[in-house]
Structure formats: structure tokens, C-alpha cells
């Protein structure tokens, strides 16, 4: 679900996994 907010710190997911969110940090 691209566009959904991540649970980490509010970053937007690139694809649909928390790993992608970690990458955006």
C-alpha cells in the first residue's frame, strides 16, 4: 500500500513494508 504512513517515525513507505520505511530514514 504505497503512500501509507510508516509506523517508524511518520515517513512514507516506498513500497509496502517497514523495511522500506527504515531505508527512507
Mean pLDDT computed over every residue of the chain: 56
CB-count burial class (<10 Å; 0-12, 13-18, 19+) for 20:
middle
How large is the average pLDDT for residues 3-24? 57
Global confidence as pTM: 0.17
For position 1, what pLDDT does the model report? 46
Contact 13, 2 (CB under 8 A): yes
Question: Which position has the higher pLDDT, 19 or 6?
Answer: 19
Residue boundaries of the structural domains of the chain: 1-25
Question: Which position has the higher pLDDT, 19 or 9?
Answer: 19
- Cα distance between the two ends of the chain: 19
Instruction: Assign 3-class secondary structure to 1-25.
Output: CCCCECCCCCCECCCCCHHHHHHHC
Amino acid at each position: 500500500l504505497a503512500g501509507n504512513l510508516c509506523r517508524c517515525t511518520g515517513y512514507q513507505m516506498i513500497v509496502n513494508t517497514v523495511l522500506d520505511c527504515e531505508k527512507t530514514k
